[in-house]
Amino acid sequence: MGGKDAKYQVIYRGEQLEHYHPGEWVFFQRPKECGGGYWFGRTYDDCFWLEFDKPVSLRDGIEYILIANSVAARAHLFDDDFQLLP
């Protein structure tokens, strides 16, 4: 399982997702017979939304979370002097 502040959970083979918070990141470990890796996405009340259409490594998924959180933290900032180049 992810840490308290990590905002993600890791569900290993044979385990079940016991509880979730809508929008929380979750990794589901795939069977070795199917190639291993993790299905990675977000949980919502009515679905599990896959972030990628293929399995990912735990490392790649965590790096993605860090980048996504960094972008989300700056999403409200605007550059008033922004101009498109001709």
The predicted model gives 33-54 an average pLDDT of 95
Q: Establish how many alpha carbons lie within 13 A of residue 41's alpha carbon, considering only the half-sphere containing its beta carbon.
A: 14
Distances (CA, A) of 25 to 22, 29, 69: 9, 13, 11
The two three-digit tokens of residue 38, written as one number:
């993790």
Lowest mean pLDDT across 3-12, 13-22, 41-50:
3-12
The predicted model gives 19-37 an average pLDDT of 94
Indicate the pTM of the whole model.
0.80
DSSP state of 4: T
pLDDT digits (tens, 9 = 90+) for 52-69: 999 999 999 999 999 999
